[in-house]
Structure 1
Amino acid sequence: MRLKRIGALAAAALGIVGVTTVLVPSGVALAHGSMTYPASRTYACYEDGRLGGNGDLNPTNPACAAAVQLGGKQPLWDWYGNLISQAGGRHREIIADGDLCGPTTKYDAYNLARADWPVTNLQAGSRITFKYNAWAPHPGRWDQYVTRDGYDVTQPLKWSDLEPAPFDSVTNPPLGSGEYTWSGTLPNKSGRHVIYSIWQRSDSPEAFYSCSDVNFSGGGSGGDTQAPTAPGTPTATATSDSVSLSWSASSDNTGVASYQVFREAGANDVQVASGSGTTATVTGLAADTAYQFYVVARDAAGNTSTPSAVVSVRTGGGGTGTPTGACAVTYAVGSAWSGGFTANVSVKNTGATAVSAWELVWDVPSGQGITQAWSAAVAVSGGKATAKGASWNQNLQPGQSVSFGFNGTSQGAPANPAAFALNGASCATA
């Protein structure tokens, strides 16, 4: 089902569970953001519309004017709000081909397949400073993709029109004066293309999307257009919580600049390592779990290879190995009543490596039960409770915390659990 067709239903649901955008009378929201250099379609059309003056938006660019005629002016006043609140990294799963530039009903007009959107002129293969406006700061990761050679801008943008790997990725870039900025190398392209940016927040399933129309000069036949060969099939050695990978090098006419290691994750593969060498170690993995990895090579001009073959590996059982990581748990009964209570739990990774797919286990005190949980899935079996992270909070970086809560039943005053273990490691309690 195309996401935009359920936009009205999603909006109604947000009215019940909480709205992420707060509007003020002037029409300016207090959150979110979009690419301002190279300018996203919504930002470029907003700036074009402002040139008309008089406090209104009257764009003269033909594509922008057509978008306003189709979808009104509100998407331009909210040029920074092109988002899906419950994306959780499932971008290719929930956004249909043709909807990439405007995945919800409100921004559908910015999917128009036209060659006259405002364009940013760029030098192929050069270093530039990306700029991304932030109405409110949030941690997360930005991935920038570019369209393949031969992409036709007069056709709807599809996932298959994008190069398979991002040419630029950054996590938690510097923020100053309400704007994220970071340096990156542009790919070796020529002519009209689209740079597609995905900002996935790490503290929420919310994700932001933008299409920046660009024109590359100095690339193509005048530069390096030859992609590296595919890296060799990786070999893998696993412990209970890590996998060490090695592969044979790619070849390239000018030289390989870096390798990107990806973990297969259904429709949304995750980059887990990068570097100039032909080895990598992926840490913070769950014990006794199957993983699949592959490698992509990239040259200095931004050309990317086809992926290597996939290697499958299973981590050890962890029975006698090193626990996944140190942890600290704060458990508090927020309220209690006759026969029931509400508990709030905070889990912090105090170790030096990430914890993937966290599971917190504790013995349920005698006379207690658990009836409902939020921000985690909690099940009770054999007197033990097991809480598992949701899709958007299942990984814990060093120093990061995650919180969840539940309602329970109790015979008398609810007692606190005596001990907790995170992925097999005993936790300190507060």
Structure 2
Amino acid sequence: MRKRIALLAVAAAVGAVLVHTGGTAVAHGSMVWPGSRTYLCYEDGRVGGGGGDLQPTNPACAAAVAQGGKQPLWDWFGNLISNAAGRHREIVPDGSLCGPTTKFAAYNLPRADWPTTQVTANSTVTFRYNAWAPHPGTWEQYVTKDGFDATKPLKWSDLESVPFDKVTNPPLANGEYAWQARLPNKTGRHIIYSLWQRSDSPEAFYSCSDVVFGGGTGTPDTTAPSAPGTPVASGVTGSSVKLDWAASTDNVGVTGYRVYSGGQVVATSATNSVTVTGLSADTSYSFTVVATDSAGNASAASSGVAVRTSAGGGGPTGSCTVAYSRPSTWNGGFTANVTVTNTGTSALNAWELVWDFPAGQQLSQAWSSTVTVANGRATAKGVSHNANIAPGGTASFGFNATTASTPADPTSFTLSGSSCAIR
């Protein structure tokens, strides 16, 4: 088993070197309104998974997972080419516009059942683009031509010849770029194709947002939803809290909610309830909620609720040890192997390991666990074969990451809210 793990780590490290041939990929983001395919499939998977693993129920999203696995959803913000340098039409072939690399190729599937966003033709809306790692650059938004057939592969010739919207260095707040744009006069189903070309790097990002235009020359919806009710916290553990709030109202309809803490989005939900995970034990947080509608209007924030996570959760304090190693390091990246040992007398079920993930590091891939990174902290969850750790047992996993500097090993770990010894 040790030989197998070592071979997997080497293979993964070699794969990372082959993929990142155009420089260190440190910027990440994707359109969140109107949502890109990867973002909406990620959100669909979160709902289908009940807050645990991603289990998309939308047929197109499920087909994409069947073809390309779930990692593209965990990395929904990383649909990029690192050495594009503005050569989009030269290096991205027809049929690959929505997923120009092997990792995201499944999101090119020509289907008419991708998740859609309802929009109003000729209306002024607020585009929102996730800024997982902010960088200067220019965004261009194209729309498909009249008569576009969603059941055929998207080609460059399917797009209008000029972008209907173009912006350079839009405002950045709360982890998102946001800017106003006027939508074109279209009807029915279309794709809004967004290109983000960084100005400080040749790296470029690509996203397809499936939309349904309605309203013709109708009056734009500029009315924001009412503020949500003050969240009520329950089920507080060392790493999570459940929040419920009174729903917002809107003249057209509320489409979702964003939960903020410390100025960052820490959770999203299509309903007025969500469980926030990945929190630190024995730590104070304040949460507020913002509602959004189909035109991208955002409500005022709710009043805040203060929560302090418990000192432990999921097992006795000090009932775990973590062995962390870097068997491979290269210019711009590294491989890490992690082994968690249950030193307590009770099983650790559905474990979650949390550690600091320094700025300048970006997760590339993970194996034998599901790893997510948010707000400078990484959270690893066991998969089907190692989700539970018996007393005296271990669970091992690994990951690859890119880095802008010499990587530093983590100095602390918490397992389901309990502090672990490091060996």
Bigger RCO (CA 8 Å, 6+ sep)? 2
Larger Rg: 1
TM superposition score normalised by structure 2: 0.47
Give the TM-score normalised by the residue count of structure 1.
0.46
